[in-house]
Amino acid sequence: MRCTQCHEREAVVFLTQIAQDQVIKLHLCERCAAEKGVETTASLGKTPVGTFLASMGKGLESGAALPAGIDPSGACPTCGATLSDFRESGRLGCAECYRTFETALRDLLRRLHGSSRHLGERYAPPGAPAAESEAARVAQLRDQLRVAVETESFELAAELRDQLRSIVGEG
Amino acid sequence: MIDLSLLPDGGMAWLDASGPGSHLVLSTRIRLARNLATYTFATRNNLADREAILRDVLQAARETVSLRNALNFRLDQLERVDRQLLHERHLISRELAGIEESATVRSGAALLVQDRVGVMLNEEDHLRLQGLRSGFDLEVAYQEVDRLDGELGQRLPFAFHSEFGYLTSCPTNVGTGLRASVLIHLPGLVLTKEISKVLQGLAQVGLTFRGLYGEGSEVVGNFFQLSNQTTLGKTEKELLDHLGKMVRQVIEYEEQARAVLLRDVPTIIEDKVWRAYGLLRHARSVSFDETMNLLSGVRLGVGLGLVDQCGMYALNKLLVHTQPAHLAALEGVRPEDPDLSVRRARFVRALLEDEAGRRGQSP
């Protein structure tokens, strides 16, 4: 399908806009989409994910210090995905990627969702006794809470305290 | 061609117009994104991984109450027209159906479906559990998909992180992995030109809208899918309560808009509704998009009590069966058949005439 703007290039962005109470359908090529300020991979820098991904790439290229525990090559030990792979596709390679890129992802998730903390249903994989995993979770939260207080991250500390309360009760 | 009559109520129990608020809300859908901890995600796995995922999930599904009698469709072994049919039924996403121009179906792509729950396999995430209900019914839709989640989660090791929650291929779905959407018909807000204000308001409270077929689809026939934008930092209940509250608000706005139209411009509305009905009743050739827009007018007329020659169920039936792959299946032709618009008009005329006769009235 041809771009409805320039009628030359192949349309890659299919947009339904509601402007002045009219539903407008646009089929745009990458260049015309970018000119209209529509977010495509070409204009990634304008989105939170894009800004984040772009800054990740720069950090790596300039050899910036990486958080402890991260392979200096930047690759996930399980699937081999790197941050530049993530920058290109916007997709993580495997569950382990979330641990490998944990610090960076925490920041991204806060920007995307307004929080990086899952407050929904807890899950224990088959075979893991639920009580044991709950105890482990409480221990982990207490540990995180102590660090948060020590580093004066009071907002995080309050969030952790609430999570602890929701598990162990008001006490 | 796959036989959709195998599905309970042809797989469209959710469209039977029996659910709560069904004069405005067609259906409620909830999906949960899940991945198996033991395999790499979709962008980095290969056919052998995808086959192994299928095998593991099928084995687990057989042991569950929710899916033990499920129909199993291997999408990569189905013809394009059949994949389009399942997509038109809202059973699989556009991506999984692989029906975009130049797109191909991913090897290992599959669908399990039983009653009103199902699982898309080897989509962007290994599993996309889904629950579908007729009308506006977030609570029951969630109960059903939550039960399926529990049953499968006991048997399969889902990827879960103590801080981030359920892990997904794209970070926009992480946490609960929950996307709830409500398919709602809003002609009153479109006609009174209030719709852009309402949609902007929804964006400000963390909700988003899409077209008739969900992600990447266009708005046709004044149907909007309203859903939550974020998936992390709130409990499932909070996400559902928030969406539910906002949808109830939108329903109220839509009803106010309809009341204003009836009060201020009754003749214009009546004319609009009857013209739509008249065209559908008599046209000799009609495209799918035009059908959708005309059905929107008639639906508004039925909702306002102006048209009693047909009911919501008949309108929903038309909505489903005038879609290209459905109509082609009914008529025994290909979806690209040059006479499809003529066949569509004939099908619509016959159904509306029958419906009017059954209701003992002749326009």
Query: Is some CB atom of chain A closer than 8 A to the CB atom of B242?
Result: no
Q: Are B227 and B181 in contact (CB under 8 A)?
A: yes
What is the SS3 assignment for B163? coil
Which chain A residue is nearest to residue B176, measuring alpha carbons?
Answer: A120
Q: Are B309 and B318 in contact (CB under 8 A)?
A: no
- At residue B13, the pLDDT reads 62
| Residue showing tokens 């799918």 | B288
What part of B 325-344 touches A (C-beta under 8 Å)? Answer: none
Q: Are A97 and A103 in contact (CB under 8 A)?
A: no
pLDDT in tens, B20-31: 777 899 999 999
Query: Is some CB atom of chain A closer than 8 A to the CB atom of B153?
Result: yes
User: Which among B287, B288, B293 has a CA at the least distance from the CA of B275?
Assistant: B293
Instruction: Choose among A113, A114, A116: nearest Cβ to B163.
Output: A116
Q: Determine whether the interchain pair B157/A20 forms a contact, defined as Cβ–Cβ distance below 8 Å.
A: no
A113 contacts in chain B (CB < 8 Å): 174-175, 230-233
A69 contacts: CB under 8 Å, gap ≥ 6? none
Q: How far is B360 from chain A (nearest CA, A)?
A: 38
Q: How far is B187 from chain A (nearest CA, A)?
A: 12
Mean pLDDT of B288-293: 95
What part of A 29-58 touches B (C-beta under 8 Å)? Answer: 49
Q: Determine whether the interchain pair B164/A121 forms a contact, defined as Cβ–Cβ distance below 8 Å.
A: no
For chains A and B, count residue pairs whose Cβ atoms are closer than 8 Å.
Answer: 133
Q: How far is A108 from chain B (nearest CA, A)?
A: 8
Q: Which of B163, B212, B231 should we substitute to test contact with A (largest number of A Cβ atoms within 10 Å)? A: B163
B234 contacts in chain A (CB < 8 Å): 115, 119-120
What is the SS3 assignment for B75? helix
Read off the pLDDT band of B170 (50, 70, 90).
Answer: very high
B161 contacts in chain A (CB < 8 Å): 95, 98-99, 118
Q: Are B37 and A95 in contact (CB under 8 A)?
A: yes
Q: How far is A141 from chain B (nearest CA, A)?
A: 9
Q: Are B188 and B300 in contact (CB under 8 A)?
A: yes
- At residue B19, the pLDDT reads 73
pLDDT at B296 over 90: yes
**Cα–Cα distance, B321 to B337 (Å, whole number):** 16
Residues constituting chain A: 171
pLDDT at B212 over 90: no
Q: How far is B304 from chain A (nearest CA, A)?
A: 22
Q: Tell me, what amino acid is at B114?
A: Q
Q: Determine whether the interchain pair B167/A92 forms a contact, defined as Cβ–Cβ distance below 8 Å.
A: yes
User: Which among B250, B260, B262, B244 has a CA at the least distance from the CA of B223?
Assistant: B250
pLDDT in tens, B257-272: 999 999 999 999 999 9
**Cα–Cα distance, A31 to A42 (Å, whole number):** 8
Q: How far is B112 from chain A (nearest CA, A)?
A: 22
pLDDT at A42 over 80: no
Query: Is some CB atom of chain B closer than 8 A to the CB atom of A108?
Result: yes
Q: Give the DSSP H/E element, type plus range, for residue A167.
A: helix A154-168
Mean pLDDT of A77-90: 90
Q: How far is B103 from chain A (nearest CA, A)?
A: 13
pLDDT at B18 over 80: no
Q: Determine whether the interchain pair B169/A92 forms a contact, defined as Cβ–Cβ distance below 8 Å.
A: yes
**Cα–Cα distance, B132 to B42 (Å, whole number):** 25
**pTM higher than 0.90, yes or no?**
no
Q: How far is B284 from chain A (nearest CA, A)?
A: 27
Q: Which two tokens stand for residue B108?
A: 């290992």
When mean pLDDT is compared across A155-159, B11-15, B206-210, B327-331, the lowest value belongs to B11-15
- At residue B266, the pLDDT reads 96
Which chain B residue is nearest to residue A21, measuring alpha carbons?
Answer: B193
B169 contacts in chain A (CB < 8 Å): 91-92
- At residue B171, the pLDDT reads 96
**Cα–Cα distance, B347 to B345 (Å, whole number):** 5
Query: Is some CB atom of chain B closer than 8 A to the CB atom of A65?
Result: no
What is the SS3 assignment for B71? strand
Q: Determine whether the interchain pair A79/B44 forms a contact, defined as Cβ–Cβ distance below 8 Å.
A: yes
Strand pairing category for B127-134 and B25-34:
antiparallel
Q: Determine whether the interchain pair A113/B124 forms a contact, defined as Cβ–Cβ distance below 8 Å.
A: no
Q: Are B40 and A93 in contact (CB under 8 A)?
A: yes
pLDDT at B188 over 90: yes
B165 contacts in chain A (CB < 8 Å): 118, 120
pLDDT at A129 over 80: no
Q: Determine whether the interchain pair A93/B178 forms a contact, defined as Cβ–Cβ distance below 8 Å.
A: no
What part of A 111-170 touches B (C-beta under 8 Å)? Answer: 112-121, 123, 125-126, 137, 140
What is the residue-averaged pLDDT of chain B? 91
Q: How many CB atoms lie within 10 A of CB B296?
A: 22
ipTM of the shown complex: 0.86
